[in-house]
Structure 1
Amino acid sequence: MFNPEFLTTDNEAISGNTLIQYLQEQSPEVLQRVARSASGDIQDIIRHNVQGLLGMLPGEQFEVKIQTNRDNLAGLLASAMMTGYFLRQMEQRMELDSSLLGSGELDADLDADPGELRL
């Protein structure tokens, strides 16, 4: 699922990127654990999203080749990552809602106005 080898590039464009530097400082075990923490549901949604963006011709009937440039591929990767983070947040919220509903603490708030969304 996660290939830590992509962090070993010496590209000048990313050499000043603090996130890449942080990732390079992490052990492969930590990176693998984080990558595996995405649930199967999240992986399925991201896979479906990326396939929708690239096109979904069945591989057994077609020889599909996709050609793009580095910037577009980086954009696709960034989009998939942001989608993953968003979906994980929503999954955690759903789990929290379910646990609060199960304990009866959220029942009074169900009919209330959810208010303004703050990020």
Structure 2
Amino acid sequence: MNNLSNLNSESFGSKASGNNLLWQYVQSMSPETVAELYKPSSPDVLQAMERTIVTMLGSLPSEDFNVLITTSRDNLGRLLASAMLNGYFLHNAEQRMVFEKSLQAADAQSED
């Protein structure tokens, strides 16, 4: 992953107050890094993210309804930020679960 310290100050610019530093940082990443960032870590996390987004948007089945959602740019940004935070939370929870299982397995093995 690109390191912030490797980016020069021009990459982040300070021309207008509307500059989005996060977006500029993402644009400075290699396509491979960006692909890794948006790929879910497991099918369980992907399924949980899908359920969360469906809940946020509404759960009418698309095969029965022609659903069209309109929103403002700001609201879409908030939705995306919320989805990202949920993704990080779920990923961290999954890592913790794997870690706890590893500790339990190590404890059980040391008792034997």
In the alignment, which residue of structure 2 is the partner of 1:88? 91
> Matches of residues 1-119 of structure 1 in structure 2 within 5 Å?
15=19, 17-104=20-107
Distance 1:13 1:59, change over 3 A: farther
* TM-aligned CA deviation for residue 34 of structure 1: 2.3
Please tell me whether the aligned partners of residues 60 and 67 of structure 2 are also in contact (alpha carbons under 8 angstroms).
Answer: yes
Q: Secondary structure at the match of 1:60?
A: coil
* TM-aligned CA deviation for residue 91 of structure 1: 0.6
Distance 1:14 1:45, change over 3 A: farther
| Unpaired stretches in structure 1, ≥5 consecutive residues | 1-11, 106-119
Question: TM-score by structure 2 length?
Answer: 0.75
| Unpaired stretches in structure 2, ≥5 consecutive residues | 1-15
CA distance in 2, matches of 1:18, 1:69: 21
Q: Secondary structure at the match of 2:48?
A: helix
Question: TM-score by structure 1 length?
Answer: 0.71
CA distance in 1, matches of 2:24, 2:18: 9
Count of equivalent residues: 93
* TM-aligned CA deviation for residue 18 of structure 1: 2.5
- In structure 2, what residue type is equivalent to 1:102? A
